[in-house]
Amino acid sequence: MVDVTVRGAGIFGLSIAWTCARRGARVQVVDAFGAGSGSSGGLVGALAPHVPENWNVKKAFQFESLIMAEPFWREVEATGGVSSGFDRLGRIQPIADARTLDLARERENSAEILWQGRAEWRVRAVQDVGAWCPPSPTGFVIHDTLSARMHPRRACAALVAALGVMGVEINSEAPDAGRVVHATGVAGLKELNEAFGKTIGNGVKGQAALLRFDVRDAPQLFADAIHIVPHADGTLAIGSTSERDYDDANRTDTQLDDVIERAMRAVPVLHGAEVIERWAGVRPRSKSRAPMLGAHPLHAGQFIANGGFKIGFGMAPKIADVIADLMLEGRDTIPPEFRPEASF
């Protein structure tokens, strides 16, 4: 007997399955390609917040999810015995000019209110930060304590292990049973596009690299629009590109070379670090740019969770909660901006 069928074993699908199972539901996960086989099997794992200003539903939802992340991942790890690589170590960003410095100081004040005293956004002098700091033209950086890191592949493996302990398997195929949610990423968006004859969402290619450089207890950096993320296993990820037009979804090219070069210019201490993996994949992006949650537009009586794009891992704990609320309790707390109709 199955209460919930989750179609898709990326970060949304696995997180929903975990949340439903820990609430007592009997769950099956179905994915022909296995867990974390799409964009959820990437390298970067930067869980970073939106800027604390011009507050809106999306920013508030993401904030709640980032606050939920630590207990979420600690419980997953404790259940399955596999590390996700999660740690809330913060993020450092260089400040380019006087105008940006003034703006950053204004955001210190707004963060105190919007982040409810649960995390900080601070302007700090470079000399007060330590050796792991990108050069900054102004001599100042932004240091926030809300950002966290995790290793996408390890996080998916941690969820699979925890689900296994709960009696939930990942099947390559199985008939629908119980309540059904489609968390099928780019394939699910293509299905919608074809059915409705217009663009509801698309895939955006990203390329990233993994370096052998051990600063595992250091905060992540964001410099020259590049995420530089130390992982708990002693590697360091950098990325990524955002490509609307591409010929090969899984091939890396000179655009990744440019990302690597820019990262090493932005953080000179990385010069000479060995590149041990190059990765490319396609991330699902809804037309509204927000996650697409709620009643499935095609499959009557079923549900959808799609469109994570760059913020899928950071949004996953909260998304899993609201989808579980909807499927198991009939309680709909999904913001209007996140409903499928927002992308039509």
| Residues forming beta bridges with residue 228, ordered by sequence position | 221, 238
Using alpha carbons, select from 257, 258, 204, 267 the residue that is nearest to residue 236: 267
* pLDDT at residue 177, rounded to an integer: 97
pTM: 0.97
Q: Where are the domains of the chain?
A: 91-145, 201-283
Report pLDDT digits (tens) over 176-200. 999 999 999 999 999 999 999 999 9
* pLDDT at residue 205, rounded to an integer: 97
* pLDDT at residue 194, rounded to an integer: 97
Residues of the chain short of pLDDT 50, as ranges, are none
Topology of domain 201-283 in CATH is D-Amino Acid Oxidase; Chain A, domain 2 (3.30.9)
Provide DSSP, 153-205.
HHHHHHHHHHHHHTT--EES-----SEEEE--HHHHHHHHHHHHTS-SEEEEE
Q: Which two tokens stand for residue 7?
A: 């179609």
